[in-house]
Amino acid sequence: MRFRFTQTAIDTTQARRELLDLGAGGYVSFEGWVRDHNEGQEVTRLEYEAFQELAVKEGERIVAEALRRFPVKHALCIHRVGALGLSDMAVWVGVSSAHRGEAFDACRFIIDEVKHRVPIWKKEHYRSGDSGWVNCERCAATPHHTHAHA
């Protein structure tokens, strides 16, 4: 599987090993971390959930597209689900290739497409006591927030 989910910390040492290739001159990886702020709010923790059956299919399609578009050796993406704290790793992308340029390009392509296409949702919890589903609340036709702000 070139796209998968984990409920526990992403093992980057193991993941990197899956990209090894005698023809590879290097590898590029991207780690997405939980940040302490978003759009003016102080974030204290996150929850990720996914529609895993479809998410794995779409994630696999993205990695397959990257392997067709860029002359790289191997690519892999692992996304965490469940409860995450600040600085925890939410997502890891790794690409090995003969030369660095295409590895950077493929890695960028994969993380950008994953963020746009894979059915994964992120709920942020704020220091104010409020919480919200990213990209779902502020754009909703009617505000969802009915609970009192702390």
Partner 1 sequence: MQLKIQYYALMREQAGRSEESLETSAATPADLYDELIRRYGFTLTREQLKVAVNSEFSDWSRRLTAGDAVVFIPPVAGG
Distance CA 118, CA 54 (A): 8
- Whichever of 24 and 65 has its CB closer to partner 1, that residue is 65
**What are the backbone angles phi and psi of residue 128, rounded to the nearest 5°?**
-65, -15
Query: Does 39 interact with partner 1 (rule: CB under 8 A)?
Result: no
| Spatial contact of 7 and 77, defined as CB atoms under 8 Å apart | no
Query: Does 2 interact with partner 1 (rule: CB under 8 A)?
Result: no
Query: Does 141 interact with partner 1 (rule: CB under 8 A)?
Result: yes
Q: In angstroms, what is the minimal distance from the CB of 85 to partner 1?
A: 17
Amino acid at 126: Y
* Touching partner 1, residues 105-124 (CB under 8 A): 111, 114-123
Query: Does 88 interact with partner 1 (rule: CB under 8 A)?
Result: no
**Kind and range of the H or E element at 54?**
helix 52-69
**What are the backbone angles phi and psi of residue 122, rounded to the nearest 5°?**
-125, 125
How remote is the C-alpha of 111 from its chain's centroid? 7
Q: If you compute the radius of gyration of the chain from its CA atoms, what whole number of angstroms results?
A: 17
| Spatial contact of 119 and 55, defined as CB atoms under 8 Å apart | yes
Residue from 32, 44, 87, 106 touching partner 1 (CB under 8 A): that is 32
Amino acid at 57: K
Q: In angstroms, what is the minimal distance from the CB of 131 to partner 1?
A: 10
- Piece of the chain touching partner 1 by CB under 8 A; list 6-14, 15-23, 46-54, 65-73: 46-54
- Whichever of 13 and 142 has its CB closer to partner 1, that residue is 142
Q: In angstroms, what is the minimal distance from the CB of 112 to partner 1?
A: 9
Q: Give the interface with partner 1 as residue ranges (CB under 8 A).
A: 32, 48-51, 53-54, 57-58, 79, 90-91, 111, 114-123, 133-137, 139-144
